[in-house]
Amino acid sequence: MNYNVPSSPGCTPPSSPCKSQTESPEDPPLLLSAAELRSVSSHAQLAQTANGVRMLTKNLATATIQLHVRAIMIVTKPRDNSLVYLTREIVEWLLRRGDITVYVDSHLKDSPRFACSHPRLLYWTNRLARRNPEKFDLVLTLGGDGTVLHVSKLFQRVVPPVMAFALGSLGFLTNFRFEHFRRRMATVLDAGVKAYMRMRFTCRVHAADGSVIREQQVLNELVVDRGPSPYVTNLELYGDGSLLTVAQADGLIIATPTGSTAYSLSAGGSLVHPAVSAISVTPVCPHTLSFRPILLPDTMVLKVQVSVASRASAWASFDGRVRTELHKGWYVTVQASPFPFPTVRSSKTEYFDSVSSNLKWNVREQQKPFSQYLTGSNRSEFEQKHPGDPQVSDSSFDLDYSDDSASVQSEDESTAPLDTRTCYAHPHATVSINDDARSAAGL
């Protein structure tokens, strides 16, 4: 696949991703490696390098990936026979386009509902996806967010671009409607795609002696909780080897920006845009009032360790699917994965459209005009005298207290002078305006 990155001041991707297109001989060179950064000789050179990195990140987010699609993998949500027919429909359409090879789940090979046969129709297995991810140029998912998470589990290293069609109950990651798949797929195959490079975590479970028990790539979150134990967990949180805090809680959620709309959200964590590289730490029912969720830089390596003083073991789960018991002294390390999860973008505003439609983010009923309650002759008279918006068309009102600026009416109908007014934060307090303030106010 080719990456067509739009040019911008400060970056020329074909040569050096951080070399200015208009760099003059006097401009200091842009430095990126750790060794080069140690040789920075001026603050101007450091600022230019930092800006170059920022522009490179921006260009990556807006890059168009021109896919040369030869093989497409289709992952279908299980336990729903209606989706088998939809899978057959999209397979038949793809097989009519050129020389594209289509891979479907091997469980459909003998399915009477699927009943499709073609020389370019092959079947994928979990083993094939794990060992040969380069076989697939594009992955299509037919289901919900859980189906997308299953793709992340299948590809534990390099992941092909994922195009998710909404056929499930949740839709934070599935932003394409299936009824438009012909038009959408034609655009992807002919014009390329824009993708979010969603951050994943590399999580490693270590025994007390440091040996690695298991490694897992996660797209949503790592959760360390008390499991079936009746006791709260005692978890030590380290960042880059330094102790950050000790959590006495039901657990800790270490979430990616993608996972910020999942379990972390339910536990009070903040929403994080997928283009923001950050690690979200959210406690689950902490036994304190001051343990607030926090965002950490993605360059930090976290370690969550079960304290040796803990009353019971803990449990670690990866994207809510795989659970591993953590004994006393065991720990899990979490860091940004070198294998991001690319998802095809449906529009520039798909993230905000998603949180608005799924979470009703900042949805508020607008106040309606009181004129809607008028009936009969009153309504007719009002509409005749106020053909437009009465709040805009009226230059004067029958009831208007905005001119009563010289005094303030108190609750007992008495008038208080302007320079001695009641403080409404406390009914017995008064605020006196001194002479300087009175002069400044023109009183």
How far apart CA 77 and CA 178 sit, in angstroms, is: 14
Is 137 annotated in the active site?
no
User: Which residue is associated with the tokens 């299509």?
Assistant: 140
- CB-CB contact of 198 with 257 (8 Å): yes
Distances in Å between the Cα of 324 and the Cα atoms of 18, 35, 223, 304 are: 43, 39, 11, 14
Residue in 26, 345, 8, 366 with CA at minimum distance from that of residue 195: 345
d(CA 162, CA 193): 10
Number of H helices, E strands in the chain: 11, 26
Instruction: Please count the CA atoms within 13 angstroms of the CA of 10 that sit on its side-chain side.
Output: 15
User: CA 174 to CA 180: how far, in whole Å?
Assistant: 13
State the catalytic residue, choosing from 80, 99, 105, 145: 145
Which one, of 200, 215, 206, 182, lies nearest residue 274 by Cα?
Answer: 200
> Distance between CA 176 and CA 418 in Å, rounded?
61
Helix (H, G, I), strand (E, B) or coil at 47: helix
H helices within 267-341, ranges in order? none
Residue type, 16: S
| Distance between first and last Cα of the chain | 73
What dihedral do alpha carbons 227, 130, 301, 340 form, nearest 10°? Answer: -120
Strands 71-76 and 138-143: parallel
Q: At what angle do helices 181-191 and 81-95 cross, to 10 degrees?
A: 40
Rounded CA separation 294/280 (Å): 6
Q: What is the C-alpha to C-alpha distance for residues 168 and 146, in angstroms, rounded to an integer?
A: 8
Question: What's the CA gap between 347 and 338, in Å, rounded?
Answer: 26
The tokens of 375 are what?
Answer: 């009936």
Active site residues per annotation: 145
